[in-house]
Amino acid sequence: MGFGLEDLERMLEPFSGGGEAESVGGEELAAVASVLFFIGGFIFDALTIGRYVNLYTLGYVGLYAFIVGGCMVVRARGWLESWRSWVDYTLHFCLGAVFSALVCLYFRSAGHFWGFVSVALLVGLMLYNEYATHTEPRRSILWGIYAVSLIMYFNFLAPYLFRSLSDWWFYGSIIVTMGALYGLRHLAAIPTRSLIAAGGYSMVLMGLYGVGAIPPVPLVMKQQIAGVDARKADGRYVCDVGQRSWSSYLGLADPTIRYVSGERVGVLSAVAAPKGVSTPVAHRWQHWENGTWETYTTVDLRMTGGRDDGWRFFSYKQSLLPGPWRVKTVVRDDWLLSSTSFRVEKLETPQEGIERRTRQLD
């Protein structure tokens, strides 16, 4: 027996409100389906765009964003009224796909607490969109979410197009996005309150960016290792590490580095960046004392992108004071990319027992 478009439309009728009892059931089913689509989409993005980012992958994210704008115009102009439910679901699916991909991309770059907080806010906004758009047609919220998506997208895309990192790309993304929405104002019948909402969302992002809570996209700390005798040997970046406790593996405690006089404690880093991007990068060595982190040494370098597995470098110190240490990796005017913490113990003699193995950056 054949399965035609009419059959599929009858199956989807509860989603578009075919009676009160059916509508309730359809909304519940739609909510469950939305969550499943979001989880599945996020996993797919993590395995694809989350592993390898290039202009091709950013291109199909941009295509989804363009389709969302097109659906907004179609709805506002009253075109394809007989296909209205399909247009609505296309809009919802594509907006979810864009936001899911961008959350994944920003999650890759979140290497510190406030970066994860901003990503968590984006996830919350995404989940709110998944539920709210089915039950209440809040156009202002929809346009606000679309504005956030475009700002995030242009902010990620610009370094790949222009092969540089700059604060201007973020502020330029806001200008381009608000300009595009204003240009669509009449064609897509955007209410003034929706433009104000989009501007408000933009101001929130600007505030997060100003306090360093927006991850430093598109840079990604691929890997970081702290140990003894950091070095480059036969093209490999390696160091020697001791045995770690289960609590340090779970992130409940910092690993402990034990060294003897004459040995160097070092940190290896691998940072992924777009091809051709060049930016200052530094390791900032800090020791916890008197209730605050005191900076002892800053090692300045120049990073040139182009290696997906990460541009690799290391720094080291000798004769470290015992206790908690952390090494902050910063780029461009103290922009925090990542931070790694550990405890240091100095042994008087090697005979006290040091079990080590060699680890290398991938």
> What would the DSSP string read from start to end of 111-152?
-SHHHHHHHHHHHHHHHHHHHHHHH---HHHHHHHHHHHHHH
Domains recognised in the chain with CATH numbers: 5-210 (no CATH), 220-360 (2.60.40.1930)
pLDDT, residue 309, reads: 66
Q: Taking residues 108-114, what's their average pLDDT?
A: 70
Residues in contact with 52: Cβ distance below 8 Å, sequence separation at least 6, in sequence order: 308
Query: Residue 313 contacts by C-beta under 8 Å, 6 or more apart in sequence?
Result: 237, 268, 269, 281, 301, 303
**Tokens 């606000």 label which residue?**
144
Q: Are 299 and 282 in contact (CB under 8 A)?
A: yes
Q: CB count, 10 Å around CB of 84?
A: 14
User: According to the model, what pLDDT value does residue 4 have?
Assistant: 40
Tell me the β-bridge partners of 272.
220
Residue 160 scores a pLDDT above 50: yes
Q: What percent of the chain has pLDDT over 90?
A: 27
Most confident of 17-21, 65-69, 98-102, 124-128: 65-69
Query: Kindly report the CA angle at 87 between 82 and 22, in degrees rounded to 5?
Result: 75
pLDDT at residue 298 tops 60: yes
Q: What is the DSSP track for 299-327? A: EEEEEE---TT-EEEEEEEESPPSEEEEE
**Alpha-carbon dihedral 290, 292, 297, 303, rounded to 10 degrees:** 170
Mean pLDDT, all residues of the chain: 80
Q: Which residues, other chains included, contact 231 with Cβ-Cβ below 8 Å and sequence gap of 6+?
A: 237, 238, 239, 266, 314
Q: What phi and psi values does residue 136 have, to the nearest 5 degrees?
A: -145, 120
pLDDT higher than threshold 70 for residue 30 = no
Q: Is the peptide bond before 218 cis (omega within 30 degrees of 0)?
A: yes
CB atoms within 10 A of CB 350: 11
Q: Residue 284 pLDDT more than 50?
A: yes
- Give the amino acid at 144: G
The sign of the dihedral angle between the CA atoms of 23, 41, 179, 202 is positive
pTM of the model: 0.76
Q: Other C-beta atoms within 10 Å of 356: how many? A: 14
Residue 14 has pLDDT above 90, yes or no: no
Contact of 188 with 73, CB cutoff 8 Å: yes
What is the structure's pLDDT at 238?
Answer: 95
pLDDT at position 344 over 80: yes
Q: How confident is the model at residue 104 (pLDDT cuts 50, 70, 90)?
A: confident
For 251-263, how does the pLDDT look when each residue is reduced to its tens digit (9 = 90+)?
A: 678 899 999 888 9
CB atoms within 10 A of CB 5: 8
Q: Where are the beta strands (DSSP E) in the chain?
A: 220-233, 236-242, 256-260, 264-272, 278-289, 292-304, 311-318, 323-331, 335-347, 356-360
